[in-house]
Amino acid sequence: MNRKWNFSTKAIHHNKPLNVNNHAVSQPVVPAVAYAFNSADEAAATVTGEREGFYYGRYGNPTTEVLEDKIATLENAEAALGVSSGMAAITNALLAVLSQGDHVVITKDVYGGTHKLMTSFAPRYGISCDFVNCSDLHMLESAIKHNTKAIYIETPSNPSLTVLHIEEIADIARKYAIPLIVDNTFMTPYLQKPIDLGADIVVHSATKYLNGHGDVIAGFVCGTQSMINKMRSNIMGDLGQNLNAWEAYLILRGLKTLGLRMDRHCKNALEIAKFLESHPAVTRVYYPGLCSHPQFDIAQKQMKDNGGIVSFEVKGGVEAGKKFINELQLALIAFSLGDPETLVQHPASMTHSSIPEDRLNEFGISKGLIRLSAGLEDVEDIIRDLDQALISTQSQLVNQ
């Protein structure tokens, strides 16, 4: 069979065996917890890995395995691990390479959940970190210590959409023989392939674009087979972070339209960004597809398209930002992203609330910043909604 397929063909067809009994096209859901064996020796060999197979649902599942294999193929990785959330993916990736006494360099404008993990949880177990401006390669390299065991980045970043040069950061990681971990949630493997650019481990919140329908919480880690085996046996399974069969099935279904959805998300986001950049009530727009973006050239080089997230600042600061999202009639105020619906949120008080208010600027977050996840609606309707909310907000500020 021809395996030199393009992305969307792989996303639909790769490793989708027909049911041997009824030739069902849809992937079967296997919700089993226990798996029976013909002998005690066979069971023992499965647990130790000498024999392939499943022995307990916390360590693997046939439906999830099909999905893991597909995700690995789409990311050009040796293997992938499906877990119960994006934070579980981040936790597995970091704990697989860090131990007590170790240090990690992390990009400064990072997801709020990652920030909270590394500032409240990690120190309790003797793991330290420094949040660094990783767009400055000299600053990044200067932050590496004798006990630094990993570099962790997300690009584009959440929520300020800083684009980092993966290949150049990977060169620094190789120089010091430490792994580079990249959060690829915003881009998906359809738009960016960090492993091809030199990354060692890739993480995803599959809750977002990979599933794409707002009805699943899941995550993935992609890397070498040995690294994924280590996470499955010693972290994911032992901590009970496994991905269940039903949610794996829903992601398998969602992946079939990933390419189509991402094309629409990107197209809508670019039109929205252009509209906002020209609007007198908006003071700044962050979107990698705009020539005004400081890393525009890097984005065009390492990304197939510019993603579905647009961040911007409304004239009038934090109060104007809150009034603006309250005036929206189509877009929904919500914490997530990557859904068919257009979603907006205020990072300083929502996703990044774990960062102290007086330190938000250090992480590239203004108090009035708005993050918008462009949905799949007709873009004219989204823009009309944004326009009326901006006009209403400015009118309220004038009349105060």
R_g over Cα of the chain: 22
Out of 102, 183, 305, 339, the active site residue is 183
Three-state SS at 200 = coil
- Cα–Cα distance measured from residue 379 to residue 267, given in angstroms and rounded to the nearest whole number: 9
- Cα–Cα distance measured from residue 334 to residue 337, given in angstroms and rounded to the nearest whole number: 8
Above 70 in pLDDT, residue 18?
A: no
- pLDDT score for 148: 98
Tokens of 63: 């439906």
Above 50 in pLDDT, residue 4?
A: yes
**Mutual orientation of helices 258-277 and 379-399 as an angle, nearest 10°?**
30
What is the overall mean pLDDT for the chain?
92
Average pLDDT over residues 70-99: 98
- pLDDT score for 24: 76
Pick the range with the lowest mean pLDDT from 133-142, 210-219, 229-238, 391-400. 391-400
Above 60 in pLDDT, residue 363?
A: no
Above 60 in pLDDT, residue 293?
A: yes
- Cα–Cα distance measured from residue 287 to residue 312, given in angstroms and rounded to the nearest whole number: 9
pLDDT in tens, 99-136: 999 999 999 988 889 999 999 999 999 999 999 999 99
The alpha carbon dihedral of 367, 369, 375, 381 has a sign of positive
User: Which of the pair, 158 or 331, is modelled with greater confidence?
Assistant: 331
Q: Between 3.40.50.2300, 3.40.50.170, 3.90.1150.10, 1.20.1050.10, what CATH number should domain 258-399 receive? A: 3.90.1150.10
% pLDDT > 90, the chain: 82
How distant is the alpha carbon of residue 138 from its chain centre?
26
Residue 208 a catalytic site member: yes
Out of 16, 58, 253, 267, the active site residue is 58
pLDDT in tens, 19-64: 556 677 788 899 999 999 999 999 999 999 899 999 999 999 999 9
Q: Which residues pair with 56 in a beta bridge?
A: 34
- Cα–Cα distance measured from residue 315 to residue 322, given in angstroms and rounded to the nearest whole number: 11
158 — phi, psi (to 5°)? -110, 115
- pLDDT score for 396: 83
Residue 190 a catalytic site member: no
Most confident of 14-23, 93-102, 357-366: 93-102
pLDDT in tens, 204-216: 999 999 999 999 9
pLDDT bin (cut points 50, 70, 90) of residue 361 is low
Burial 202-239 (b: 16+ CB within 10 A, else e): bbbbbbbbbbbeeebbbbbbbbeeebbebbbeebbbee
Three-state SS at 44 = helix
- pLDDT score for 211: 98
Residue 371 a catalytic site member: no
- pLDDT score for 348: 66
Residue 125 a catalytic site member: no
- pLDDT score for 173: 98
Tokens of 295: 């890393």
Above 50 in pLDDT, residue 1?
A: no
- pLDDT score for 265: 98
Give the domain 7-255 fold.
Aspartate Aminotransferase; domain 2 (3.40.640)
> DSSP readout, 218-269?
-EEEEE-HHHHHHHIIIIIHHHT-BPPHHHHHHHHHHHTTHHHHHHHHHHHH
- Cα–Cα distance measured from residue 33 to residue 113, given in angstroms and rounded to the nearest whole number: 30
- Cα–Cα distance measured from residue 97 to residue 94, given in angstroms and rounded to the nearest whole number: 6
Out of 10, 108, 149, 208, the active site residue is 208
pLDDT in tens, 302-353: 999 999 999 999 988 888 888 999 999 999 999 899 999 999 998 766 655 5
What spatial distance separates the first Cα and last Cα of the chain, rounded to whole Å?
Answer: 68
**Where do the domains of the chain lie?**
7-255, 258-399
DSSP H or E run through 72: helix 62-75
Out of 55, 111, 209, 249, the active site residue is 111
Does the fold of domain 258-399 match that of domain 7-255?
no
